[in-house]
Amino acid sequence: MPPTARWRFALFYLCYYAALGAYTPYFARWVDALGHGGYVIGTLLGLWYGSRILAPPLWTALLQRSTQPGRWFVAGSALTLLCFAAFTVTDSALGLFAVMALFGLFYNALMPQFEAMTLTALGPRVSEYGRLRVWGSVGFLLAAGSYGVLLDRFGSAAFPWLTLPLLAAMLVAAIPHRHDRPPGHAPSMADAGHLWKRPGVRRFLLVALLMQVGFGPFYVFYTLHLQAHGHDGVAVGALWAVGVLIEIALFWQAPRLIERFGAPRLLAACLAVTVLRWTVTALYADSFAIMALAQATHAFGFAVFHACCMRLIAEYFPGRRAVAGQSLLYGFSSGVGGVLGAGLAALMWERGGGEWAFLAGAAAVAVAWMIHALRARPATVSSPPPQ
Using one digit for the tens of pLDDT, what is the confidence trace for 164-214? 999 999 999 999 988 876 655 545 555 555 556 666 788 888 999 999 999
Report residue 30's pLDDT band, with 50, 70 and 90 as the boundaries: very high
Domain boundary, last residue among 164, 186, 208: 186
Same domain, 182 and 251: no
Q: What is the mean pLDDT of the chain?
A: 85
User: Quick check: 380 pLDDT over 70?
Assistant: no
Of 129, 163, 186, the domain-final residue:
186
Instruction: Judge if 158 and 248 occupy the same domain.
Output: no
Kindly report the CATH number assigned to the domain that includes residue 180: 1.20.1250.20
Calculate the alpha carbon distances from 285 to 280, 292, 355 in Å: 8, 10, 9
**Higher local confidence (pLDDT), 363 or 3:** 363
Residue 263 Cα distances to 74, 160, 213, 316, angstroms? 37, 40, 21, 13
Buried b / exposed e along 242-276 (16+ C-beta atoms within 10 A): bbbbbbbebbeebeebbeeebbbebbbbbbbbbbe
State yes or no: pLDDT of 60 exceeds 90.
no
- Find the mean pLDDT for residues 218-222: 92
- Residues 341 and 360 both lie in one domain: yes
Q: Which residue has the higher pLDDT, 330 or 24?
A: 24
Same structural domain, 178 and 200: no
In this model, does residue 87 exceed pLDDT 90? Answer: yes
The whole-number pLDDT of residue 178 equals: 87
Average confidence (pLDDT) over 16-34: 93
- What percent of the chain has a predicted confidence (pLDDT) above 70? 86
Region 229-242: mean pLDDT is 92
pLDDT at res. 195: 57
Do 165 and 308 belong to one domain? no
143 and 265 part of one domain: no
- The more confidently predicted of residues 381 and 73 is 73
| 214 and 298 co-located in one domain | yes
Q: Is the pLDDT of residue 127 over 70?
A: no
Closest C-alpha among 171, 183, 176 to residue 112? 183
pLDDT of 64 higher than 80: no
**Can you give 237-277 as a three-state secondary structure string?**
HHHHHHHHHHHHHHHHHHHHHHHHHCHHHHHHHHHHHHHHH
Q: Say how many domains are in the chain.
A: 2
The pLDDT value recorded for residue 65 is: 72
Q: In this structure, is the dihedral angle defined by the CA atoms of residues 95, 19, 297 and 260, taken in order, positive or negative? A: positive
Whether residue 212 sits in one domain with residue 180: no
- Report the candidate in 243, 10, 249, 17 with the shortest Cα–Cα distance to residue 129: 10
Average pLDDT over residues 111-122: 79
Range of the domain at 381: 190-387
d(CA 242, CA 17): 16
Closest CA to 220 of 348, 34, 51, 333: 348
Higher confidence at residue 379 or residue 171? 171
Verify that 181 and 287 share a domain, yes or no. no
What is the model's pLDDT at position 315? 78
Mark whether 153 and 233 lie in a shared domain: no
Q: Which one of 143, 163, 186 terminates a domain?
A: 186
**pLDDT at residue 207, rounded to an integer:** 93
Cβ(52)–Cβ(103) under 8 Å?
A: no
Same domain for 79 and 61? yes
**pLDDT value, residue 310:** 76
Dump pLDDT digits (tens) for 316-361. 776 556 656 666 777 788 888 989 999 999 999 999 999 999 999 9
Both 174 and 222 in one domain: the answer is no
d(CA 107, CA 103): 6
Asked if pLDDT for residue 2 goes beyond 70, the answer is: no
pLDDT at 383 over 70: no
| Predicted structure pTM score | 0.83
